[in-house]
Amino acid sequence: MVSAIKDKNNSAKIVGHLINGEIKYGGGSSQDIYNPSNGEVSRKIELANKKTVEEAIAAAQIAFPEWRNTPAVKRARVMFRFKELLEKNAKKICELIGEEHGKISHDAMGELQRGIENVEYACSAPEILKGEHSKNVGQSVDCWSEFQPLGVVAGITPFNFPAMVPMWMYPLAIVCGNCFILKPSERDPSSTLYIAELLHEAGLPKGVLNVVNGGKEAVDTLLFDPRVEAISFVGSTPVAEYIYTTASANGKRCQALGGAKNHAIVMPDADIDNAVNQLIGAAFGSSGERCMALSVAIVVGDEVGNNFISKMKETMKTLKVGAYNESSNDFGPLITEDHRNKVASYIKSAEDQGATIAVDGRDIKVKGYENGFFLGATLIDNVTPSMTSYKEEIFGPVLQVIRANNMQEAMDIINDHEYANGTCIFTRDGEAARYFSDQIKVGMVGINIPLPVPVSYHSFGGWKRSLFGDLFAYGPDGVKFYTRRKTITQRWPSAGVREGKEFSMPTMK
């Protein structure tokens, strides 16, 4: 296997593109990739210009007719081999994630496993692509539906899950018979490219999956090129809205997953110790750089609130922050220095607007990694819905606490927010849990589960401004997104029987 990461003139490693099964370099400008644990440049990445992206689209278009007509079972066999290679090379993949994202090794392994589960779902292609058939719907008339691929489709993925989120998209798209252009984050592309190379090693034909690195020029090329039939996106809400609006205006199918502000309600009857343990990981895992991070706890009643804050502060003392290669660490740095400073500014704004900083992680220093982009776990009490830090997605290791008088007030706070990705409730009351899950206006709901991320054979997506488009990601909705239904009705009349002229609408009378 030829690596997409090479040494140029024995200096910095250069990350290229994967087009038509080959590693390509050039095509635009370049930028640095940082190791966020030590703040040093680890690689450079070459950014695709319009011509480079068009080359990838052309390769996918050429590969499509043959791949489309490849039996689903043969496409699935490629995915079976791909799964084996992912498991065999898991350690290297997780090292690449850690070097460029900063994610601790055990967290990276969890991300990879979630991606593998989506590959496993794609392995069931012969089953999920089965059509529907009805015999003799009329005299000698049969009717059936087929699910056919779209053609060339594309995915634009974020930095926070460089392995998992791309595997939400292209394994299912490809096994449905499409050819795929992936534009990963330019901040941490190496694991994404390496995984794509493994898929080619598994037997994927050239041109079926292409990976191009780039910025807005690359994205706009995908959005405006008429050969691209559909776009999948995961990222911030402003960009998601732009992607969806532009793709739709250009006649493309689009699913664009945006930002989040995920809430947990802690009820008076909840097991507080369990809630604290669950929320610690949900709020601070992966440095809070998750679209499903639990960033707001709404405690019902001051007694519950005081108890929750006290136990949370004690438990947070045990957290270990550091580099990705120390498995005893709980979470690592933020992705860039700019993002670290942005998260710190949200903490300051909450303080300036009257909130109480119960635990402050802004001054943390990690021995041996003093130049890393670290920010410690932060707990903010007495937050109100009018505060900037509440309204906007922080995307860092910050848990904010709002105090409510009752469950309905807590639910109203959640339902009033513009984001509606995920939420959960901690309670022992089945009636309260049932009412909450039925009445809350959020796409993914947990009952005593703070990260209600659906398994691969369900689908992932939020409501309101957390999702632009009608279909969720992966699972059954993913199959619908990457295929078109075609319904065929046919008649084979008996020999010698001729039908008379018919001018009215056909019916089954």
Instruction: Tell me, letter by letter, the H, E, C secondary structure of 85-134.
Output: HHHHCHHHHHHHHHHHHCCCHHHHHHHHHHHHHHHHHHCCHHHHCCCEEE
Are 85 and 312 contacting, i.e. CB atoms less than 8 angstroms apart? no
59: containing domain: 5-258+466-487
In order of 133, 160, 276, 450, 506, the CA distances from 307 in angstroms are 59, 33, 10, 19, 69
Residues 286, 274 within the same domain: yes
Q: Rounded CA gap, 68 and 65, in Å?
A: 5
> Is residue 94 domain-resident?
yes
> Is residue 286 domain-resident?
yes
Residues 300, 430 within the same domain: yes
Per-residue pLDDT of the chain in tens (509 residues, 90 and over written 9): 446 566 544 345 899 999 999 999 977 799 999 999 999 999 999 999 999 999 999 999 999 999 999 999 999 999 999 999 999 999 999 999 999 999 999 999 999 999 999 999 999 999 999 999 999 998 889 999 999 999 999 999 999 999 999 999 999 999 999 999 999 999 999 999 999 999 999 999 999 999 999 999 999 999 999 999 999 999 999 999 999 999 999 999 999 999 999 999 999 999 999 999 999 999 999 999 999 999 999 999 999 999 999 999 999 999 999 999 999 999 999 999 999 999 999 999 999 999 999 999 999 999 999 999 999 999 999 999 999 999 999 999 999 999 999 999 999 999 999 999 999 999 999 999 999 999 999 999 999 999 999 999 999 999 999 999 999 999 999 999 999 999 999 998 777 666 667 777 777 66
Give me the pLDDT at residue 26, please: 78
In order of 70, 73, 76, 238, 244, the CA distances from 126 in angstroms are 12, 6, 8, 38, 31
Residues 440, 417 within the same domain: yes
Are 189 and 101 contacting, i.e. CB atoms less than 8 angstroms apart? no
Residues 176, 125 within the same domain: yes
Residues 43, 155 within the same domain: yes
Residues 10, 26 within the same domain: yes
Give me the pLDDT at residue 1, please: 46
Give me the pLDDT at residue 403, please: 98
Sheet with 467-468, strands from edge to edge, namely 22-24, 17-19, 209-211, 179-183, 152-156, 228-234, 253-257, 467-468
Residues 98, 133 within the same domain: yes
Q: Please list the active-site residues.
A: 291
Give me the pLDDT at residue 77, please: 98
In order of 193, 305, 464, 475, the CA distances from 10 in angstroms are 21, 57, 50, 44
The CATH number of residue 443's host domain is 3.40.309.10
Number of domains observed in the structure of the chain: 2
pTM of the model as a whole: 0.94
Token pair belonging to 104: 């601790």
Pairing, β 294-300 against β 398-404: parallel
Residues 171, 195 within the same domain: yes
Token pair belonging to 103: 């994610």
Element holding 78 (H helix, E strand)? helix 72-88
Residues 169, 306 within the same domain: no
Give me the pLDDT at residue 140, please: 86
Residues 276, 170 within the same domain: no
Closest CA to 472 of 454, 490, 447, 493: 454
The CATH number of residue 248's host domain is 3.40.605.10
